[in-house]
Each structure stands twice: as C-alpha cells, then as structure tokens.
Amino acid sequence: MRRDVFQAIADPTRREIINLIAFQSLNLNAIAENFEMSRPAISQHIKILTECGLVSIKKEGRERFCEVKFQKLKEVSQWIEQYSSFWNNKLDALEIYLSANKTKVEPKK
C-alpha cells in the first residue's frame, strides 16, 4: 500500500480537506460537517493524510485538531519545478529542442 503525498492529494475529497484546514485547525467532526459523506469516511481520509505526513493531529481532550503540514507539499512542487523552465515563456525553446532531436522525421506534406 503506497502512502505518499502524490497519492494523498490525488483524491478530490482529501484536497478539499486540506483547503478547509489550511487556515484554521479543525477537529474531525467540524471537518466532516462540510462533506456529504459519513464521519468515518472522513476519519479514514484523515488517516491517509497523517500517514503520509501531510496532516498532523493535536489531541485536546476527546477532540483531535487537524492541521496541514505544508512542508510536505514541497515534495510535489519540487518534482514539478524540475520542468518549470519549460513553461516560463520557454515553450518555444522546448519545441526547437525536441524537433532538433528528431532528425529522421519526414517533413509534413
């Protein structure tokens, strides 16, 4: 069972959870109120988010407050930023590079 950040943010519900608790730490029931699905379903999503390090839980009495560990998102943005030179107005340069490397290609009719 994979449990990494890429997998965690693939699910739209989990991205919504992150949006929800990005600016204020909420307990589990407060999160669940914002969704149509059952509380245990949200609990399971939170489990996935904590297991990959994207969310941390602070116990306060019987409540558990969830907050986002934004540093973890860095793993994703760093993977993407490898390629960032290709979309910062340098798409033409990429086209040139690619076509220069396809020397055996027939010209279009």
The residues that touch DNA, with contacts defined as CB under 7 A, are 1-2, 7, 10-11, 13, 27-30, 36-41, 43-48, 57, 61-65
Distances (CA, A) of 102 to 61, 86, 91, 95: 64, 18, 17, 11
Window 75 to 94, contacts with a copy of itself (CB under 8 A): 76-77, 79-84, 86-87, 91, 94
**Contact call for residues 40 and 89 (beta carbons, < 8 A):** no
Q: Which two tokens stand for residue 85?
A: 């030179």
Window 11 to 30, contacts with a copy of itself (CB under 8 A): 12, 15, 22-25
Q: Which residue has the tokens 């055996």?
A: 104
- Residue 96's binding partner out of DNA, a copy of itself, none, with CB under 5 to 8 Å set by partner kind: none
